[in-house]
Amino acid sequence: MSKSVTIRVPEELHAQLQERAEAAGTTVTALITEAAHNAVRDPRLEGAAEVFRRFVADNGAAFDAAFPDDAPVGPDTTRVPERAV
């Protein structure tokens, strides 16, 4: 169940929110809800995607050598489809 919250924002900010929402095909409420989710997100996740990308870049060749059947099929990193058993 969701809870209703009332906030006051300057008219200029409201206009900017409406403009952004229209451009994104969403609502002002959805934009504010997303911002609230981001505000309480676990700070340990900050930068996690970049850490993962670096790990893959640094260790991908070793993984591919150890598990050649699971290696990407090309430079676009498309994975080999699972084999039927």
pLDDT tens column, 5-52: 999 999 999 999 999 999 999 999 999 999 999 889 887 777 888 888
- DSSP letters, 27-46, are -HHHHHHHHHHHHHS-GGGT
Rounded CA separation 45/51 (Å): 10
pTM (2 d.p.): 0.51
Model confidence at 3, in pLDDT bands (50, 70, 90)? very high
Model pLDDT, residue 13: 96
Per the CB < 8 A criterion, the answer to whether 64 and 71 are in contact is yes
